Structure formats: C-alpha cells, structure tokens
A and B are shown apart, each in its own frame.
Chain A
Amino acid sequence: MAVAAPDLLRAAGGDDDQEPLVACTVSPTETAGPFPTHTPSGYMRTDITDGRTGVAFTINIHIKNKNADCSALQGALVDIWHCDKDGNYSEYGGTQMQSTNYTTVHFLRGRQVTDANGLVSFTSIFPGWYTSRATHIHVHVYNAAGTSLLITQISFPEGTNSAVATVNAATAYGYTKGMTGYTYNANDNVFSDDSAGLELSTVTGSVANGYTLEHNIYVNGPTAGLDDFSKNKYGIKQNYPNPFKDLTTIPLNLELDSDVNVTVYDMTGRKVGTAYSGNMYAGENNIPLNRGNLSSGTYLYKVAIANANGKFEESKQMIVR
C-alpha cells in the first residue's frame, strides 16, 4: 500500500516537484517525511505574548561591551523570560510558587540578536508577581557563537506612581493581586544587594497606552581585535550554485585538521551517495559535488566532522535541476 508524503513547505526557490509515493513499512522512520523549511530557533521572535493578556509592554535592552569601552555589542543573542499577569511561567513541573500548570505553551519567552546599536526589543505584557519575589525579567546574554556571557535579572522601579503599583491595581486588565503580600526590591533575595541600582530599569508610559522599559546590560564581550570563533570550531555554508545542474561546491571552514564525511540523502531519508570521506586540513576547504546519477529534486547533504574538539554534524538542503 502506498502513502502520499504530506505536501508541506517547499524550500525557497525550489522546483514545484510532486512528493514521490512511498511504501508504508513497519518501521515508522522509513515513511516519507514532510518537506520542512529550515527555520531559526523557535525562540527567535519579537512578540512573545503567545496569547497572554495584560497591559501592553515593550522591553528595550541595550547590550554594552565592557571590553570595548562599553560600546554597543552587535550580534549578541539575548534571551528573556518572565511570568504572566498571574505570576505563572510557561514551564512544566509547577513549583510551589505556581498554582496553575501550563505544559505545552512557551509563552513570554523569546530571543533576539542585538543590532548595530546593541539593541533588542520585545513586545510583551507587563509581568505580574509571585510570592517572595519582586517583579522581574530574566535575561541570558550569549555571544554570537552561543557561549554564555551573562545571566542576570532586571528589577522595576517602585513607589506610589510607579508602573508596578499602577499596573497591579489595573483589575480591568486582569491584574487581581494588587500589592498585598508583595516583596519589594529591598527584601528581594536577588535585588536586595543591588545598592548601586545596576539591575534597575527605567519604565515609562501608562496603562492605557502601554509601558516601555529601557535598560542597559554590560557584558564581557569579545576583546577588540580577536576573532570570535564559533564554539563548534567550524563553518559550513550553503552549496553554490544552488540549484545546480552538474557540479556544485560546498564551502567548509575548519579550525583544526578534521575527519570529514559528507553524505547525501534524498527527501525520504534514503542515502544516495557519499560526496567526501577523509581527512581535511584546517582552514578554508571546498568540497566538489558531482550530480552523478541523481535525478532532479531536492536532497539533503549532511556534513559530519570529527576532530580534537569533538564531533559535529550539520545538514543543509540542495536542489538538482
């Protein structure tokens, strides 16, 4: 019996080919998979609300590099996460601090890359609070390669007309706790020692128009002049030309001499050939790939590298005309 593979996303610029019919076999992994597009991490987004309601809130964070005269750090990855208006995080395994258990929704979490001004901006809702903690936002800053630079939290200004006090009184927007039982910054186990206010943000706006948070975070970024090597110590790029008719080239940059294996699979996951298998020197390499007997269509090339730093694999799609 035959199963038509699901007709899902096409790679950009790909031929409008029909998915081949494949036999339905006992082993599930042999049935044809969908035709997915390679997307950035599910985290990468500006709007992190995922349907959570509350007072509109824009979060602007400026990342500055201590090792470069505190100038803006471009290309840094910034993750933020915070609780919803009721004090709940998107995360399973509820702790004592949460009375509700959300298991499948990744709300109020997001990632952005800093621009030339070191800025990342998120669209969210004003956070609520939970027992024993003041209102806060978690931040994790990485360099472009994904190495952690800083894990920190942002605190909020307090006082009679502060955003925290005003929003928590806004019952029309669903904030029901008010400030009863609230832990203020001075008593908070994370912020109580921040006498210099380094973790304190600036918050402006109103309940009707929404609030905006501005905050500078200083990290030990790359020292000027040194290359920021990828943690994986290699770089594999898209083959060119792509699509191709007879010959294409896969660029591969290696920091160390490595064992390299390049395998080609069709879209059903069947191995159709080996483009390269052997040793390669550190530096820039170019792997030629001949079309051989491959029929027109989309294929996956998997580059597997083994060297003193460990083992790595990365796959990309290519199209044969």
Chain B
Amino acid sequence: MNYPKIRLAYRAVIDSSCSTAWERYIFEDTYKEYLMQQQLFSNKEQPATSFRKLMAENPKAEQLHFLTGIAANSYVQQLKGFLFLVPDALGNNLLPFEGFRFDIINTDITDISRHKVGITFFSPLFTYLGTVNNCYLVSKDTATKAGYDTVMYPLQPQLAICYYEEATINDFATP
C-alpha cells in the first residue's frame, strides 16, 4: 500500500524570556547583527527604532530577515541536523531537519528586551501513516514497503505539516 508523504515544520520563537544557552546566544547575536544590518536601510539621521516601523518606511528592509539570520547560522549548524526542542513520544528520537528559515518578529534598536525572532525548521520527507494517539505517525523511510519502522511526534502548537504529497498511483490502477 502506498502512503502519502509529508514534511513537518517547527517554529521556535526566541525572545528575552528564553534562558537556555542556545536560545540566549541566538537572541543576543542576532540582535547585534540587526543593529549592524539595519543601517543599510534606515535613515542615518533619524533611524526608525522598531523593525516594523523600518519596514513601513522602507519595504526593502524585508531583506533583514535573511541578513540578520546569518548570525544564527553557526548555532543552527551546531545542532547537527537534530532539533532538541522536538523529541518523539518516547523521548529518544529528535526531529531531524534539513533546512531552516529565520524571521524577525519585531525588534528595537534602543531596547533589546523587545527583540523577538523565529526560526522555522523543516524536516526531510517522511512517509505519513496517520495520526495515532495525538501523534503524527511517520516513517523516515520513503520507499514503499510492507512494514515501516516508525516514529511518533506529538501534536503540539508550533509543529505543523508544511508539505503534503498524495500516495503514488498503484501500478495496477486502470489508466
């Protein structure tokens, strides 16, 4: 039997209330990077204090999501492709990720406590076998097989399916 394929996405929100070392380093380094990069887009005499104000004044400031995110790069690389924020139902399998996208929720050049950023992690393709016991039942194996080794990731607010592919048509289906 053929099953659909999905990708999961998890959005981590990092702000001044975070206290793990990984989140704090990202929080502080991306803030410092924002202070530098926003100079590309802001008015030199009277720079817009918040990111949202800057976006309203200069739509090109949208590039700051990407430019500020480069400061988070090395910390994401240190995770070596496994997201510690999303363990499976058993607690011994972390959600793997292939890519990530950084975005600025808002920030303020005079007040670090208003800095708030998001990182969305994207998993590789999984075979989706359904939702069981409030968990996504998936397999990392994407080939069609008789039986699958599966992992269960609990449904949670910041975790969502971001890609869905229908099961491929059976070879014996009538054309």
Interface residues of A (CB under 8 A from B): 1-6, 8-9, 24, 26, 28-29, 31-43, 77, 91-93, 103-104, 106, 109, 140, 142, 146-148, 151, 231, 265, 267-271, 300, 302, 309-315, 317
With A and B bound together, what is the CA distance between A147 and B25 in angstroms?
21
- Interface 1/0 per residue, B41-52 and A, CB below 8 Å: 000100000000
Q: Is the CB of A315 within 8 A of B70?
A: no
With A and B bound together, what is the CA distance between A302 and B63 in angstroms?
30
- Interface 1/0 per residue, B8-28 and A, CB below 8 Å: 000010001011111111011
Asked, given contacts A32-B20, A310-B111, A311-B112, whether A42 binds B25 with beta carbons under 8 Å apart, the answer is no
What's the minimum C-beta distance from B74 to chain A, rounded to whole angstroms? 4
CB contact between B112 and one of A6, A148, A312 (< 8 Å): that residue: A312
Chain B residues in 8 Å Cβ range of A106: 70, 73
Q: Is the CB of A93 within 8 A of B74?
A: no
Q: Is the CB of B19 within 8 A of A34?
A: no
With A and B bound together, what is the CA distance between A283 and B21 in angstroms?
28
Main secondary structure of the interface of A (DSSP, over half): loop
What's the minimum C-beta distance from A51 to chain B, rounded to whole angstroms? 15
Size range of the interface on B? Answer: 35 or more
Chain B residues in 8 Å Cβ range of A103: 99, 101
Q: Is the CB of B63 within 8 A of A269?
A: no
Nearest-CB residue, chain B, relative to A300 = B21
Residue B144 at the A interface, CB < 8 A? no
Chain B residues in 8 Å Cβ range of A1: 90-91
With A and B bound together, what is the CA distance between A313 and B23 in angstroms?
13
Q: Is the CB of B75 within 8 A of A36?
A: yes
Interface residues of B (CB under 8 A from A): 12, 16, 18-25, 27-29, 32-33, 35-36, 39-40, 44, 62-63, 66, 70-75, 78-80, 82, 84-87, 90-92, 94, 99-101, 109-113, 156, 158
With A and B bound together, what is the CA distance between A93 and B60 in angstroms?
11
Q: Is the CB of A3 within 8 A of B92?
A: yes
Asked, given contacts A34-B78, A42-B73, A146-B32, whether A91 binds B19 with beta carbons under 8 Å apart, the answer is no
What's the minimum C-beta distance from B80 to chain A, rounded to whole angstroms? 7
Seed contacts A31-B85, A41-B32, A91-B66; 13 additional CB < 8 Å A-B pairs: A1-B90, A6-B84, A8-B78, A34-B78, A39-B78, A42-B74, A43-B71, A106-B73, A269-B19, A311-B113, A312-B112, A313-B27, A315-B24
Q: Is the CB of A109 within 8 A of B22?
A: no
CB contact between B85 and one of A9, A28, A271 (< 8 Å): that residue: A28
Nearest-CB residue, chain A, relative to B76 = A42
Question: Looking at B24, B33, B78, which has the most chain A CB atoms within 10 Å of its CB?
Answer: B24
Nearest-CB residue, chain B, relative to A90 = B66
With A and B bound together, what is the CA distance between A214 and B51 in angstroms?
36
With A and B bound together, what is the CA distance between A8 and B101 in angstroms?
22
Q: Is the CB of A29 within 8 A of B111?
A: no
With A and B bound together, what is the CA distance between A144 and B73 in angstroms?
22
Q: Is the CB of A33 within 8 A of B21?
A: yes
Nearest-CB residue, chain A, relative to B77 = A42
Chain B residues in 8 Å Cβ range of A42: 70-74
What's the minimum C-beta distance from B16 to chain A, rounded to whole angstroms? 7
Chain B residues in 8 Å Cβ range of A104: 99-101
What's the minimum C-beta distance from B62 to chain A, rounded to whole angstroms? 7
Q: Is the CB of B79 within 8 A of A34?
A: yes
What's the minimum C-beta distance from A307 to chain B, rounded to whole angstroms? 11
Q: Is the CB of A41 within 8 A of B71?
A: yes
With A and B bound together, what is the CA distance between A271 and B47 in angstroms?
36
What's the minimum C-beta distance from B152 to chain A, rounded to whole angstroms? 13
Q: Is the CB of B111 within 8 A of A37?
A: no
CB contact between B19 and one of A39, A151, A270 (< 8 Å): that residue: A270
With A and B bound together, what is the CA distance between A179 and B101 in angstroms?
35
Asked, given contacts A9-B78, A151-B40, A312-B112, whether A24 binds B23 with beta carbons under 8 Å apart, the answer is no
Q: Is the CB of A315 within 8 A of B92?
A: no
Chain A residues in 8 Å Cβ range of B28: 313-315
